[in-house]
Structure 1
């Protein structure tokens, strides 16, 4: 077995996820049975070379899975820190490609009319079309066959962690960039409280395949011969503050695990959530560390 990103076989086994437990929590969240996507228990690994963390066997969601999640209002937020951060790198005359564009919410944030989005969801394409936003139903690998060295900026927000083959995805993303073009990537940060969040199934298959730290993002410059422009973290956002405090309390009382359906965990989880509601007003902004998202900006040489 090899790392999904750098191909190294120097791996450390971290933890096992029971298929049964994972399916129970997805059913609780969505009301749907996704057993057809997950055949076996999953193992969680760290690559000792590039520090990518990933799940194996590789399991990713299909259109039914993502259509189910799109029913939730919180799944596609129109106001994201990374949207405002990324738009400062985009000029009006730039050709911009967004991979995994959803219904094109980022397109509304930028001034260029030379925007194209990619998304494999036909439902997302339909929603974007109603807003006059152009979304094409194809993968970045397919798109790269026609658009080599074409775009000034390529963006992917909260997409890379879903991809079963990140190396192929990134190579194609860079292929469509012009020389000196910018690649802007946002992912959930493994250098944040998310690393310690238990039963956070949306950071597991079939939703997320990989987990990314600063070290791993920086390693992209070595693999793909890129210049690092910036690596930026958001602070813990308002919608995540109670979750952060609750996770902090839980990690003090119990050892963090990926999944834990024990009665003890359930009781501690309820207790920590109760305390977070009391303590949130006492936490000053300075007390909150890195938030959910990290953004990497890279320049093609």
Structure 2
């Protein structure tokens, strides 16, 4: 469901400063009625109660002139434990066991001694780290996810900002999969993560890729508030690295893959449909690969400088 923008901003963008300290340009105004309808259509979830604290029937999209980071205001609809409990219940596989970024990140993490995962859910990735015999810790906001813990490593209900004051310069790597886009102050998480790292340590973030066509066109409501509050691209992370004095080792971009063709159950079971679907997906995937069509996720691997 594509969101059509409404032109007039509710707030004067000259007075808006981004989480990264840049002046902001207004991009879009979106009605909360359209937002609620899109969530209802996708997963049957009524999000209206999570918007009741808003003073307006509109939300605003801004772009940070300093980094290119795009973010929604007002942001007081963010990070409710109740919301995440509801969305994980109505969307099977919300906490996925296997993700593209897991295998990519293992290349960097498997030889490090002590790692921290922010927003680890029940610990599916931590479970994968067990076979390397390293020491790891997770922190998670959703207490129900902690109750479903699947790893032997400890998971704490603790804020990264608190942990960074308790355990500065302790970890060889800090990483977060699909976390930054959910929070209203990503700069706080980045700063606290850097503080937790030893000099030379790795900082790894995976986020939805706003260059992916379905996200760029706002066709997926899960990439909108109250689920996602901010949008990232490789360029945004290049600018973030400059702000915090980090080195970028690598940016990994998931290649877009073709999806199954929608059809009625009877059609899907036919040999002709299966053959055509398989062939068309193969051709599309080849086209996406040849043209480096960006997929839905990206990973950035930072390194903390030894003089930091």
- Do Structure 1 and Structure 2 share a fold, with TM-score over 0.5? yes
Aligned residue runs from structure 1 range 75-114, under 5 A: 75-92=94-111, 94-110=113-129, 111-114=132-135
User: Are 2:284 and 1:283 equivalent residues in the alignment?
Assistant: yes
Aligned residue runs from structure 1 range 30-49, under 5 A: 30-38=43-51, 39=54, 40=56, 41-49=58-66
- Structure 1 residue aligned with 2:143: 122
Alignment partner of 1:299 out of 282, 295, 303: 303
In the TM superposition, what is the alpha-carbon distance from 1:220 to its structure 2 partner? 1.6
Taking a change above 3 Å as real, the CA distance of residues 139 and 194 of structure 1, as seen in their structure-2 partners, is farther
User: Are 2:156 and 1:152 equivalent residues in the alignment?
Assistant: no
- Structure 2 residue aligned with 1:23: 36
| Unmatched segments (≥5 aa) in structure 2 | 1-14, 263-275
Deviations 1:220-255 (A, max 9, x none): 211111111111111124xxx228x99xxxxxxxxx
Indicate the larger mover: 61-70 or 32-41. 32-41
- Structure 2 residue aligned with 1:2: 16
Following the alignment from structure 1 to structure 2, what is the Cα–Cα distance between the partners of residues 286 and 105? Answer: 32
- Structure 1 residue aligned with 2:189: 169
| Unmatched segments (≥5 aa) in structure 1 | 247-274
User: Are 2:259 and 1:242 equivalent residues in the alignment?
Assistant: yes
Following the alignment from structure 1 to structure 2, what is the Cα–Cα distance between the partners of residues 222 and 61? Answer: 28
Alignment partner of 1:64 out of 82, 94, 101: 82
**Contact 1:61–1:205 at 8 Å: present in 2 too?**
no
Following the alignment from structure 2 to structure 1, what is the Cα–Cα distance between the partners of residues 163 and 235? Answer: 29
Taking a change above 3 Å as real, the CA distance of residues 284 and 278 of structure 1, as seen in their structure-2 partners, is closer
Deviations 1:61-111 (A, max 9, x none): 311111112222231221111111111112445111000000101112222
User: What count of residue pairs does the alignment treat as equivalent?
Assistant: 267
**Contact 1:221–1:228 at 8 Å: present in 2 too?**
yes
Taking a change above 3 Å as real, the CA distance of residues 92 and 215 of structure 1, as seen in their structure-2 partners, is closer
Following the alignment from structure 2 to structure 1, what is the Cα–Cα distance between the partners of residues 48 and 82? Answer: 13
Deviations 1:100-133 (A, max 9, x none): 00010111222244111110111111111x5434
Following the alignment from structure 1 to structure 2, what is the Cα–Cα distance between the partners of residues 54 and 186? Answer: 17
**Contact 2:181–2:230 at 8 Å: present in 1 too?**
yes
Alignment partner of 1:14 out of 13, 21, 27: 27
Following the alignment from structure 2 to structure 1, what is the Cα–Cα distance between the partners of residues 153 and 40? Answer: 33
Following the alignment from structure 2 to structure 1, what is the Cα–Cα distance between the partners of residues 151 and 170? Answer: 25
- Computing the radius of gyration from Cα coordinates, the structure with the larger value is 2
Normalising by the residue count of structure 1, what TM-score does the alignment of the two structures yield?
Answer: 0.82
Normalising by the residue count of structure 2, what TM-score does the alignment of the two structures yield?
Answer: 0.80
**Contact 2:30–2:59 at 8 Å: present in 1 too?**
yes
Following the alignment from structure 2 to structure 1, what is the Cα–Cα distance between the partners of residues 288 and 38? Answer: 31
Indicate the larger mover: 206-215 or 62-71. 62-71
Following the alignment from structure 1 to structure 2, what is the Cα–Cα distance between the partners of residues 24 and 203? Answer: 14
